[in-house]
Chain A
Amino acid sequence: MMQVLYYAYLLLKAACNTLADSFLPLINLCSLPPPAKYGGRHTVTLIPGDGIGPELLTHVRELFRFCCVPVDFEIVSIDSKSTSDDDMNNAITAIRRNGVALKGNIETNHNLPPSHISRNNILRTSLDLYANVIHCQTLPGVRTRHRDVDIIIIRENTEGEYSSLEHENVPGVVECLKIITRKKSLRIAEYAFNAARQNGRRRVTAVHKANIMKLGDGLFLQCCKEVAAGYPEITFDSMIVDNTTMQLVSKPQQFDVMVMPNLYGSVISNVCAGLVGGPGLVPGANYGKDYAVFETATRNTGKSIANKNIANPTATLLASCLMLDHLRLHGYASMIRKAILATVSETRLHTADLGGQGTTSEVVQSVMREIESKGPRTSEQI
């Protein structure tokens, strides 16, 4: 009896996976979103973070309330100044419970002793959020030096240079270990090619430095090549990271999907975000097998512009749309996304980072007005 139930469970999981594979746009392929409990409403963990995080996430809650989105937020604060682990453990437990989170960046005070590891990093590794996916697209109405940029960056999120393994054997000599494993490299390559196939992308470029780090990046590259063999319709090539940055600032239109280890991912995603208009415009997603956490692509705290009503909410709002897509609330996601893109194309509403003088609240109000004029139901009309 138990065996029959178990096999039925496996069959159901496989069926759901296939269904997930078939129509989710650029969304994590293997994980099921948690089923909506309590009257069709989802619960999502919200981590305000530091700097501009709290105010922008408050706007997200405001917007969701306005649009009657069936999502409730469980707010878990992490105090970046405390050295105890309780906050982190609470947050991780909450995300495990809810399966999905929306977060701001948590500041890392690097004047504390080295044993104090970055909180964002702990979150990513504990929940095994192995893929960081960033889609950089030129937005209409935003003036940039390069046009027609459309790059998907898939960055390995848990190992590489961010392994936090350092030691000082001899005083004055520090060794930092960069770990590359076959298992995780295959996993991220598989994710990248699968995402490329699902989104109709033609080309995947692996970014590496295997001419210098022959064993480490060499292993990564080899894993990518192995996975590429299983996707004959997708062209696979590789490029050394310094050449990649040079090409990105001169001809970014040549890139399609890029896959890379952790540190290069940080560099490339920031360069691409800068190319399409800056940190205020690009959302990012971190996917694991069982959990998903959404945030801005460039993970900035924005301490200098916090609480001044000048931060650009676009990236955070678009990240919340990615979250809605993940929860299969596609109707709400596309409604909000359309409104955001319409607002971004209006130059007079541009915030300071885009060269304008608009305020955060003006942008959010405009998004709400846009939705009101188009959407079927809002809290005002009920």
Chain B
Amino acid sequence: MAGNAWRSTVSRVVGAMKSQASHPRTFSRGLQTVTLIPGDGIGPEISTAVMKIFEAAKAPIQWEERNVTAIKGPGGKWMIPTEAKDSMDKSKIGLKGPLKTPIAAGHPSMNLLLRKTFDLYANVRPCVSIEGYKTPYTDVDLVTIRENTEGEYSGIEHVIVDGVVQSIKLITEEASQRIAEYAFEYARNNQRASVTAVHKANIMRMSDGLFLRKCREVAENFKDIKFTEMYLDTVCLNMVQDPTQFDVLVMPNLYGDILSDLCAGLIGGLGVTPSGNIGANGVAIFESVHGTAPDIAGKDLANPTALLLSAVMMLRHMGLHGQAKKIETACFDTIRDKKVLTKDLGGNSKCSEFTGEICRRVQDME
């Protein structure tokens, strides 16, 4: 009896300690290990660029390079190599370059495999207009948070009879709660004023209705953040007319896919957009979302901005705001100056020259 009481106290304390571990950690001293997955195509060169810039900024990061390929594990299930998984489980933070998915390879896409392995349930994409890279839209400053595990991408499809196909969209209470909580916590931790739930509950009454209900419930616990809800089509309509009215957007999988790419298009495309995936158990993998660009791989022409901004997002997640700001400012200043730009940004410098310029600016800021 006394033993039981003692055991329950211990488990409560351990539980409290474990929950603290899931919050972003602050590192005041010591090196933090980050698992680096260079990826394919231009992946290795942009990863090298990011490592160089971090070195110039004297960021307390120790990189652990790992490669991910799909291997067949015991029982016939596809999985990533054990060294990669172990490294990520230990370090909890990852930075990933673009991975290619060969068609008809027999295994699911690498991104999907990573998502399943680490239960990466939230995809976060902050979209901020880059001064110096002109698009028709200025002053964009919003964040899209997309539920990444279920919804329309559950992959459950059947042919009912010949010529009739049904795809199943799955919405669960648990996942909706989890993503809503993450969205509000993100808003609070990053001083954002409002969270908007994007849905289509007028048509998909039960599924999006459930998602919306969960968001409303979670909003009750975060009274300091304004909560609004808006239909997907209204968001699209208003987004292309006036994107400044949006702050943090939270939504299920498909809408998130479309809207996050729409917002990336507003600021200049996938080549300059950072992205982060948050998983259960405190794992976070930051990545560049563009393709592997095999046509320019190895030619020193790639633009490392997307991976660099994702790495900056990673620093912020770890609490290293000062370092993050320094590197981000150096990057934006370089782009704004327009003297040394890679081809896709409108210049004709090499990747190494662009990287060198950013390193120089970072060092000048010391």
Q: A182-B163, A250-B265, A273-B237 are in contact. Are A242 and B257 (CB under 8 A)?
A: yes
B205 at the interface (CB under 8 A from A): yes
Q: A145-B137, A166-B207, A213-B152 are in contact. Are A181 and B241 (CB under 8 A)?
A: no
Q: State in angstroms the CA–CA spacing of A360 and B74 once bound together.
A: 70
Residues in B whose Cβ lies below 8 Å from that of A180:
164-167
Residues in A whose Cβ lies below 8 Å from that of B237:
270-271, 273-274, 278-279, 298
Q: Do A245 and B167 touch (CB < 8 A)?
A: no
Residues in B whose Cβ lies below 8 Å from that of A5:
none
Q: Do A274 and B236 touch (CB < 8 A)?
A: yes
Q: Do A174 and B165 touch (CB < 8 A)?
A: no
Residues in A whose Cβ lies below 8 Å from that of B135:
250
Q: State in angstroms the CA–CA spacing of A270 and B232 once bound together.
A: 9
Q: State in angstroms the CA–CA spacing of A78 and B269 once bound together.
A: 44
Q: Do A172 and B174 touch (CB < 8 A)?
A: yes
Interface centre among A118, A263, A264 (most CB of B within 10 A): A263
Q: Do A168 and B206 touch (CB < 8 A)?
A: yes
Q: A213-B157, A266-B233 are in contact. Are A249 and B173 (CB under 8 A)?
A: no
Q: State in angstroms the CA–CA spacing of A246 and B260 once bound together.
A: 9
Q: Do B157 and A174 touch (CB < 8 A)?
A: no
Residues in B whose Cβ lies below 8 Å from that of A275:
240
Q: Do A117 and B205 touch (CB < 8 A)?
A: yes
Q: Do B166 and A110 touch (CB < 8 A)?
A: no
Q: Which of B167, B170, B261 contacts A246 (CB 8 A)?
A: B261
Within 8 A of B (CB), among A229-266: 241-243, 245-250, 263-264, 266
Q: Do B240 and A114 touch (CB < 8 A)?
A: no
A161 at the interface (CB under 8 A from B): yes
Q: Which of A114, A167, A247, A271 contacts B236 (CB 8 A)?
A: A271
Q: State in angstroms the CA–CA spacing of A164 and B257 once bound together.
A: 22
Chain A 55-82 interface mask (CB, 8 Å, partner B; 1/0) = 0000000000000000000000000000
Q: Do B262 and A270 touch (CB < 8 A)?
A: no
Q: A180-B167, A216-B157 are in contact. Are A245 and B261 (CB under 8 A)?
A: yes
Q: A118-B203, A168-B206, A274-B241 are in contact. Are A175 and B234 (CB under 8 A)?
A: no
Interface centre among A216, A219, A246 (most CB of B within 10 A): A246
**Total contacting residues, chain A, CB less than 8 A:** 60
Chain A: which residue is nearest B135 at the CB level?
A250
Q: Do B209 and A215 touch (CB < 8 A)?
A: no
Q: Which of A176, A247, A270 contacts B204 (CB 8 A)?
A: A176
B363 to chain A, nearest CB (A): 35
A162 at the interface (CB under 8 A from B): yes
Chain B 161-178 interface mask (CB, 8 Å, partner A; 1/0) = 011111111111110000
A208 to chain B, nearest CB (A): 12
Residues in A whose Cβ lies below 8 Å from that of B207:
166, 174-176
A379 to chain B, nearest CB (A): 37
Q: Do B233 and A178 touch (CB < 8 A)?
A: no
B21 at the interface (CB under 8 A from A): no
Q: A166-B204, A274-B236 are in contact. Are A173 and B166 (CB under 8 A)?
A: no
Residues in B whose Cβ lies below 8 Å from that of A145:
136-137
Q: A146-B136, A215-B159, A249-B262 are in contact. Are A176 and B168 (CB under 8 A)?
A: yes
B56 at the interface (CB under 8 A from A): no
A309 at the interface (CB under 8 A from B): no
Q: State in angstroms the CA–CA spacing of A161 and B208 once bound together.
A: 12
Residues in A whose Cβ lies below 8 Å from that of B202:
108, 110, 118
Residues in B whose Cβ lies below 8 Å from that of A167:
206
**Total contacting residues, chain B, CB less than 8 A:** 54
A198 at the interface (CB under 8 A from B): no
A267 at the interface (CB under 8 A from B): yes
Q: Do A164 and B203 touch (CB < 8 A)?
A: yes
Residues in A whose Cβ lies below 8 Å from that of B241:
274, 278
Q: State in angstroms the CA–CA spacing of A209 and B155 once bound together.
A: 12
Q: State in angstroms the CA–CA spacing of A279 and B240 once bound together.
A: 12
A194 at the interface (CB under 8 A from B): no
A382 at the interface (CB under 8 A from B): no
Q: State in angstroms the CA–CA spacing of A173 and B266 once bound together.
A: 35
B186 at the interface (CB under 8 A from A): no
Q: State in angstroms the CA–CA spacing of A110 and B163 once bound together.
A: 32
A97 at the interface (CB under 8 A from B): no
Residues in B whose Cβ lies below 8 Å from that of A41:
none
A289 at the interface (CB under 8 A from B): no
B239 at the interface (CB under 8 A from A): yes
Residues in B whose Cβ lies below 8 Å from that of A175:
168-170, 207
B52 to chain A, nearest CB (A): 30
Q: Do B166 and A114 touch (CB < 8 A)?
A: no
B156 to chain A, nearest CB (A): 8
Q: Do B157 and A274 touch (CB < 8 A)?
A: no
B201 at the interface (CB under 8 A from A): yes
Q: Do B171 and A174 touch (CB < 8 A)?
A: yes
B210 at the interface (CB under 8 A from A): yes
Chain A 274-294 interface mask (CB, 8 Å, partner B; 1/0) = 110011000000000000000
Residues in B whose Cβ lies below 8 Å from that of A171:
173
Q: State in angstroms the CA–CA spacing of A183 and B221 once bound together.
A: 48
Q: Do B165 and A270 touch (CB < 8 A)?
A: no
Q: Do B262 and A246 touch (CB < 8 A)?
A: yes
A121 at the interface (CB under 8 A from B): yes
Within 8 A of A (CB), among B126-175: 135-137, 152-153, 155, 157-159, 162-174
B234 to chain A, nearest CB (A): 7
With A175-B170, A246-B265, A270-B234 given, can you name 17 additional A-B contacts, CB distance below 8 Å?
Answer: A108-B203, A114-B209, A145-B137, A166-B207, A176-B170, A177-B168, A177-B169, A178-B166, A181-B163, A213-B152, A241-B257, A245-B262, A247-B265, A263-B200, A267-B232, A271-B262, A298-B237
18 of the cross-chain contacts (CB-CB < 8 Å) are A110-B209, A172-B174, A175-B207, A177-B166, A180-B164, A180-B167, A182-B164, A212-B155, A215-B158, A215-B165, A219-B163, A245-B236, A245-B261, A249-B262, A250-B135, A267-B232, A267-B233, A274-B237
Interface residues of B (CB under 8 A from A): 135-137, 152-153, 155, 157-159, 162-174, 200-207, 209-210, 212, 232-234, 236-241, 254, 257-262, 264-266, 269-270
